[in-house]
Amino acid sequence: MNRRRLISRVPLLLFYSCTVLISYSPALISAAVVTLDSIEIFKTHEWVPTKPKVYFQCKGEGGIILPDVKNKHELYSFRGEESWQPLTELPDTKCKRCGLYEEDAIRANYVFDEWELCPSDFTRSDGKYIHGRENEFNATFLCKECVAQAKASSSSSSSDKDNSANAKQEDSSKMLPWPLIVVISCASLILFTGGLVAGCKWWQRRKRMQQQAQFLKLFEDADDIEDELGIGPLSHTV
């Protein structure tokens, strides 16, 4: 009885396992974590004399408030382990529309800058990318996974280029040099012309032989007719 219950529960376990895998499959996709390494703002835009609330936000995501960024012309450095880190995640080679903003209690939030944040921006060996806007801010972002992805994509593209170059070299090596092609073409033309001339001569000789045979047969037929009529040269000897 217990064995039958166990067997009947196996399909249910498989179903639940597949459901869990499907639900968590987006999380299994490789993503590169982006953190804020340092930032410096050069001005604030709040009319009320209070400390500004600066935040980072990507399109379709929630805003990440930078609680320590309060003063102008002060460089703030971070370790990437803060409670509000990371800023966002970049899946594979896909870019995100992100920006740096300041909350405003009276007007619409001020936009320091908005730009496309891409994994390809992190070209330095240390995984850092500097972005700024004149008289507004300078910020350094960190994404070590982006560097690894860029190296992998560049190595794959270089291998593809090498394979295509090797294929072209193999194709070119298989091709005959043009002087040899010219010699082969001339020899083929000479052989074709010689064969055509020989064929014409053979056909003319055969036609001549057929005409001679027809002419001799005509004379033989005439002699037979004369013999039958008794007017031939042998009729007087009988």
Instruction: Read off the pTM.
Output: 0.54
Peptide bond into 233 cis (omega under 30): no
DSSP 111-159: EEEEEEE-GGG--STT-EEEEEETTTEEEEEE-HHHHHHHHHHHHHHHH
The b-or-e profile of 227-237 (16+ CB within 10 A means b, else e) is eeeeeeeeeee
Q: What is the pLDDT along the chain (238 residues), one digit of tens a residue?
A: 444 454 444 444 444 444 444 444 444 446 899 999 999 999 887 666 778 899 999 999 999 999 999 999 999 999 999 999 999 999 888 899 999 999 987 888 999 999 999 999 999 999 999 999 999 999 999 999 998 876 666 555 555 555 666 666 665 566 667 777 877 888 888 888 888 888 888 888 888 888 887 777 776 766 666 666 666 555 555 4
92-to-24, 31, 46, 175 alpha-carbon distances in Å: 17, 6, 37, 41
Q: Kindly state the tokens that stand for 12.
A: 């249910």
Angstrom distance (rounded) from CA 162 to CA 156: 10
Query: Which class for 167: exposed (0-12), middle (13-18), buried (19 or more C-beta within 10 A)?
Result: exposed
